[in-house]
């Protein structure tokens, strides 16, 4: 919803000054996504607004729910008839995280990723990114499931390759008059676009940063993530040194556990050496991720292999956790969003 256009429209239609505030309150605080449901507005105005504006710029195709009800995935159709996916994941005590997409598809073609394997269509606008957040806020409140407290830019696309729209969306998410999220409840995940890391440090120094690292060996990382040819581990280290010295904030290194490709003792040693090369190494935190089955040639590490790898890192004083993979059965986990129309079950 474009607020300046809405404001012009209200002025043209001789509406009192408080109307905009009423609409903002109804949308951002009370979670309405249809003008016709906003009872505080006169009926004729609701009709006119519905004809001229969309609060969320999508139609809803499907909402999938995992059996344990701890994750949901929505398939949304944009105005130009493209599919995008967005995911909701349970945090704790009836709070939830929304994982938003920033692009339709992705140019970077990481080998383990369903999005990367389905090509690139276009960037999402700031409205389309924020529309996913409005959608989940409405879903949680209509179904009395709890509150949306965290936003992660970890869905389809590389956020730093759509920085213009992502930065506009970040400003609105932290705007106290609109979404009013705290910066620290928002995370941006990147494949390692170094100039993006610098921009985040300079413009949003309290927003969390996660790096899809996946290997601390240039050869292996380039095989898994072609972007490593352009921004290699040394470039990444320099950008992260800048980020940590500027923000003094923790950085999450996401690391997919792939059998005999990223999970050997040699891989662990590479990771330890990479982290130990940082001046502020205490700010680097490794998240080991069990691989979700996508249509790729890679095999997931076993539970024992992951445990062994984690123990080895911890013995070497590396901050490490394993990330619980939620949403696997609805293809809503990391690396599984593709924007393809699902054939499976609906809510």
Of 106, 148, 166, 256, the one binding ligand SF4 (CB under 6 A) is 106
Q: Which stretch binds ligand SF4 (CB under 6 A): 112-120, 174-182, 247-255, 307-315?
A: 112-120
Least distance (Å) between residue 55 CB and ligand SF4 = 27
Least distance (Å) between residue 158 CB and ligand SF4 = 4
Confirm if 163 and 110 have CB atoms less than 8 A apart. Answer: no
Q: Which is nearer to ligand SF4, 131 or 335 (CB)?
A: 335
Of 131, 157, 327, 332, the one binding ligand SF4 (CB under 6 A) is 157
Q: What is the total count of residues that contact ligand SF4 (CB under 6 A)?
A: 13
Confirm if 224 and 218 have CB atoms less than 8 A apart. Answer: no
Of 212, 215, 228, 338, the one binding ligand SF4 (CB under 6 A) is 212
Question: Is residue 106 annotated as a catalytic residue, yes or no?
Answer: no
- Asked if 101 interacts with ligand SF4 (CB under 6 A), we say no
Report phi then psi at 243, rounded to 5: -60, -50
- Asked if 108 interacts with ligand SF4 (CB under 6 A), we say yes
- Asked if 115 interacts with ligand SF4 (CB under 6 A), we say yes
Provide the terminal-to-terminal Cα distance of the chain, rounded to the nearest Å.
27
Question: Is residue 334 annotated as a catalytic residue, yes or no?
Answer: yes
> Scanning residues 178 to 207, which ones bind ligand SF4 (CB under 6 A)?
191
Confirm if 346 and 62 have CB atoms less than 8 A apart. Answer: yes
**Cα–Cα dist 208/252, whole Å:** 8
Q: Which residue is nearest to ligand SF4 (CB)?
A: 116
- Asked if 116 interacts with ligand SF4 (CB under 6 A), we say yes
Q: Which is nearer to ligand SF4, 14 or 297 (CB)?
A: 297
Among 211, 190, 212, 186, residue whose Cα is nearest residue 291 = 212
Q: Which one of the listed residues 85, 128, 158, 254 is annotated catalytic?
A: 85
Least distance (Å) between residue 216 CB and ligand SF4 = 17
Which residues contact residue 110 at a Cβ distance below 8 angstroms, ignoring those fewer than 6 apart? 116, 191, 212, 224, 225, 226, 227, 335
Among 321, 265, 254, 320, residue whose Cα is nearest residue 292 = 254
Least distance (Å) between residue 254 CB and ligand SF4 = 9
- Asked if 110 interacts with ligand SF4 (CB under 6 A), we say yes
> Catalytic amino acids?
85, 334
Q: Where does this chain bind ligand SF4 (CB under 6 A)? A: 106, 108-110, 113, 115-116, 156-158, 191, 212, 335
């Amino acid at each position: 919803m474009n607020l300046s256009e809405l404001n012009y429209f209200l002025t043209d239609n001789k509406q009192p000054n408080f109307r905009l505030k009423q609409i903002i309150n109804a949308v951002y605080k009370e979670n309405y996504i249809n003008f016709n449901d906003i009872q505080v507005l006169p009926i004729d105005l609701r009709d006119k607004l519905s004809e001229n504006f969309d609060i969320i710029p999508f139609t809803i195709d499907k909402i999938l729910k995992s059996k344990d009800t701890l994750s949901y995935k929505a398939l949304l159709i944009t105005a130009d008839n493209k599919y995008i996916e967005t995911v909701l994941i349970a945090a704790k005590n009836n709070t939830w995280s929304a994982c938003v997409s920033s692009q339709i598809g992705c140019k970077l073609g990481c080998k383990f990723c369903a999005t990367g394997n389905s090509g690139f269509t276009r960037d999402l606008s700031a409205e389309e990114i924020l529309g996913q957040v409005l959608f989940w806020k409405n879903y949680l409140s209509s179904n009395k499931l709890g509150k949306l407290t965290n936003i992660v830019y970890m869905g389809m696309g590389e956020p730093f390759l759509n920085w213009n729209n992502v930065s506009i969306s970040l400003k609105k998410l932290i705007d106290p008059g609109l979404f009013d999220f705290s910066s620290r409840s928002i995370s941006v995940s990147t494949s390692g676009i170094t100039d993006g890391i610098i921009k985040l440090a300079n413009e949003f120094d309290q927003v969390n940063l996660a790096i899809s690292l996946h290997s601390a060996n240039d050869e292996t990382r380039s095989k898994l993530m072609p972007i490593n040819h352009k921004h290699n581990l040394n470039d990444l280290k320099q950008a992260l040194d800048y980020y940590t010295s500027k923000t003094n904030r923790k950085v999450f290194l996401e690391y997919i556990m792939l059998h005999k490709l990223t999970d050997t003792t040699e891989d662990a040693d590479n990771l330890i050496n990479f982290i130990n090369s940082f001046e502020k190494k205490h700010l680097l935190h490794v998240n080991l991720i069990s691989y979700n089955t996508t249509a790729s040639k890679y095999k997931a590490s076993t539970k024992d292999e992951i445990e062994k790898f984690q123990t080895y890192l911890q013995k070497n004083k590396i901050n490490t956790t394993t990330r619980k993979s939620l949403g696997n059965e609805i293809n809503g986990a990391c690396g599984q969003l593709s924007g393809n129309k699902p054939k499976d079950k609906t809510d």
